[in-house]
Amino acid sequence: MDREDIMIETKKKSMQDYLSPLVKQIPPSGIRKFFDLVSNSKDKDIISLGVGEPDFVTPWHVREACVYSLEQGKTTYTSNAGLLELREAIAEYLDHGFQLSYNPLDQIVVTVGGSEGIDLALRALVEPGDEILIPEPTYVSYSPIAAITGGKPVGIETFAKDQFKLTAQSLKAAITPRSKILILCFPSNPTGATMTYEDLLPIARLVEEHDLLVISDEIYAELSYGQKHVSIASLPGMKDRTLVVSGFSKAFAMTGWRIGYMCGHPELIAAMLKIHQYTIMCAPVMGQIAALEALKSGLHDKDQMVESYNQRRRLVVQGFRDIGLSCHEPYGAFYAFPSIQSTGLSSEQFAERLLMESKVAVVPGHVFGKGGEGFIRCSYATSVSQLTEAIERIGYFIQKLKNV
């Protein structure tokens, strides 16, 4: 064989052949497809209920604190775990707000958004073949990340009749000897479901009984209406079995800052910190300083925002019921998750036609996993006038469907 043949041989390998099979197996995101559909439409008249972030801008005093720190030249790395002052503030905040007590020295790490915490946790914990239990419909990232680490995501369907809470019965049915981790996301994106102390108690018992760990994504904790959020980590015996992942994005309207944190058993935190220090080094210092300001004097802003979400929550839930869509009462986050089964359309058909014919963007429920088909996710983090108009349009669209 001469040299030319060798070159031709190597050219035959396509880029696809280089990609890791673990990455290739991840299905394309269903939400991405819908994002493209909406973004490609240049229609200015579209009202979007598809936005998964607050409609408030970060309060000015928080932005101002960041600007001031930049002027002072605070542009360096911080310690891997994040500014100690911020970790101390987080510890105090969790203690006051949620009865969670963590040592800021070895139990709290500041991350690049809550998302990094999820990634670090799964990378630190999962061995190939481990089963990761994920109540669905749920946030779209858990299952793909679990799969990348070689784990096997196991969706547990939740139902509108249970207000999309995880029941002990369905958890029990999903547990096998390979089960290792349960990922909870309550208050839930996309269903708005919450879990009370009484709801969590039998779940915690099962977790203990089967020696599982819990990753609890509590990013929406502050956005709980009617009653305060209960962290599963605050239940007896659960603190050492639970990794709490949270952040500033939702409660403090700070999505773009990418500042989150994780808290848990010191040995787990140390393992995750090891990955964090080699991959991320530290969360951006500007964001950390802003987050510190938010905790020091932003709690009042947060309360006002929560009240405003609650008002709009009542508005959309009532609105959907008035136009004939059955909608369970969402007690958390800023999503309503009405059923569109009465229209006879799939959630994808419904969302696409609603966008084309009535110019309202929602996210079809099937992209959130098992149990999402037949529902649409509607964010009410948008203005009252837009919400009223959107519900009117959806009502008109449904009437039109009936009359055909």
Partner 1 sequence: MTDFKHKILDLLKEDARLSPQLIATMLGVTEAEVRAAIAEMENDHIILKYGTIVNWSKVDEEKVTSLIEVQITPERGRGFDAIAERIYLFPEVKSVYLMSGGYDLLVEIEGRNLREVASFVSSKLSTLESVLATKTHFILKKYKQDGVIFEEYEGDYRMLISP
Is the Cβ–Cβ distance between 36 and 348 less than 8 Å?
Answer: no
Of 82 and 287, the one with the shorter C-beta distance to partner 1 is 287
Identify the CA nearest to 56 among candidates 376, 287, 334. 334
Which one of 94-102, 180-188, 262-270, 309-317 is the stretch in contact with partner 1 (CB under 8 A)?
309-317
Which of positions 179-198 make contact with partner 1 (CB under 8 A)?
A: 189
Question: Around 171, how many Cα atoms within 13 Å sit in the side-chain half-sphere?
Answer: 26
**Interface residue with partner 1, options 241, 258, 302, 312 (CB under 8 A):** 312
Of 88 and 392, the one with the shorter C-beta distance to partner 1 is 392
**Interface residue with partner 1, options 361, 390, 394, 398 (CB under 8 A):** 361
**Interface residue with partner 1, options 14, 16, 39, 72 (CB under 8 A):** 39
How many residues sit close enough to partner 1 to count as binding (CB under 8 A)?
A: 29
Is the Cβ–Cβ distance between 369 and 143 less than 8 Å?
Answer: yes
Nearest distance from residue 203's CB to partner 1, in Å? 25
Please report whether residue 374 would count as binding partner 1 according to CB under 8 A. no
User: CB under 8 Å to 151, separation ≥6 — which residues?
Assistant: 122, 126, 127, 128, 129, 130, 131, 132, 180, 181
Of 81 and 378, the one with the shorter C-beta distance to partner 1 is 378
Please report whether residue 141 would count as binding partner 1 according to CB under 8 A. yes
Nearest distance from residue 2's CB to partner 1, in Å? 53
Dihedral Cα 40, 137, 118, 36, nearest 10 deg: -10
Of 108 and 367, the one with the shorter C-beta distance to partner 1 is 367
Please report whether residue 369 would count as binding partner 1 according to CB under 8 A. no
Of 63 and 74, the one with the shorter C-beta distance to partner 1 is 63
**Interface residue with partner 1, options 140, 215, 238, 378 (CB under 8 A):** 140
- Cis ω before 202 (30° cut-off from 0): no
User: CB under 8 Å to 337, separation ≥6 — which residues?
Assistant: 137, 160, 164, 190, 191, 192, 327, 328, 330, 365, 375, 376, 377, 378
**Interface residue with partner 1, options 201, 315, 345, 401 (CB under 8 A):** 315
Is the Cβ–Cβ distance between 168 and 202 less than 8 Å?
Answer: yes
Is the Cβ–Cβ distance between 142 and 126 less than 8 Å?
Answer: no
Q: Catalog residues that contact partner 1 under the rule CB under 8 A.
A: 29, 31, 34-35, 38-39, 46, 48, 50-53, 55, 57, 139-141, 189, 307, 311-312, 314-315, 318-319, 361, 363, 384, 388
